[in-house]
Amino acid sequence: MILKSIAKVATESLKKPFTLEFPEHVENLADNYRGIHKLDMNTCINCQACARICPNQTIVMVEADSPTAFHADNKPKLFPEIDLERCLFCALCEEVCPTDCLVLTKSTELEAYDRRDLVKRPEQLE
C-alpha cells in the first residue's frame, strides 16, 4: 500500500503541471467568451441605455476627465463607468448600445490588488 502511494506520488510529480503561468500563458478562449468592455468615447452618444439595461446596476454614468467631453451648452457629457466586480458579462449593454461603441472584448485581465481598481472609468475602458 505504501509502495503504491509512493509510486503514485512519483508518477504525478513527473507530469507537467496543470496550472498555467499567468499572465504569460492564458487558456484558449471559447469563441463566445466575454471579457472586459471596450468603450469608444468618440462615438458614445451618452444615451445611458447601457446603464438602464444593466441587470446588476454595474454601470453608472459619470463625467469624463476630458476637455472634449462637453455638450455645446457646456454641460458635461456622461459616459459609462463599469464596476467589473459586479459585472455578469451578460453583454446586454453591448446589445443595447445604439452606436456599437461599447463592446465586450476577450481581455481576461481582471486581476487587481485592490477591488476598487476593478471600477473602470470611461477613459480606462478606451
Q: Are 22 and 9 in contact (CB under 8 A)?
A: no
When the beta carbons of 9 and 95 are compared against ligand SF4, the nearer one is 95
Contact set for ligand SF4, span 57-76 (CB under 6 A): 58-59
What is the spatial distance between Cα 69 and Cα 47, in angstroms, rounded to a whole number?
Answer: 14
Q: How far is the CB of 5 from ligand SF4 (least distance, A)?
A: 47
Cell numbers representing residue 83 in the block: 464596476
When the beta carbons of 14 and 72 are compared against ligand SF4, the nearer one is 72
Q: Which stretch binds ligand SF4 (CB under 6 A): 3-11, 22-30, 40-48, 110-118?
A: 40-48
What is the spatial distance between Cα 23 and Cα 8, in angstroms, rounded to a whole number?
Answer: 31
93 touches ligand SF4 by CB under 6 A: yes
Within 65-105, residue ranges assigned H as helices are 92-96
When the beta carbons of 69 and 91 are compared against ligand SF4, the nearer one is 91
What is the spatial distance between Cα 44 and Cα 40, in angstroms, rounded to a whole number?
Answer: 6
119 touches ligand SF4 by CB under 6 A: no
What is the spatial distance between Cα 87 and Cα 125, in angstroms, rounded to a whole number?
Answer: 14
Q: Which residues bind ligand SF4 (CB under 6 A)?
A: 44-50, 54-56, 58-59, 80, 82, 87-93, 96-99, 101-102
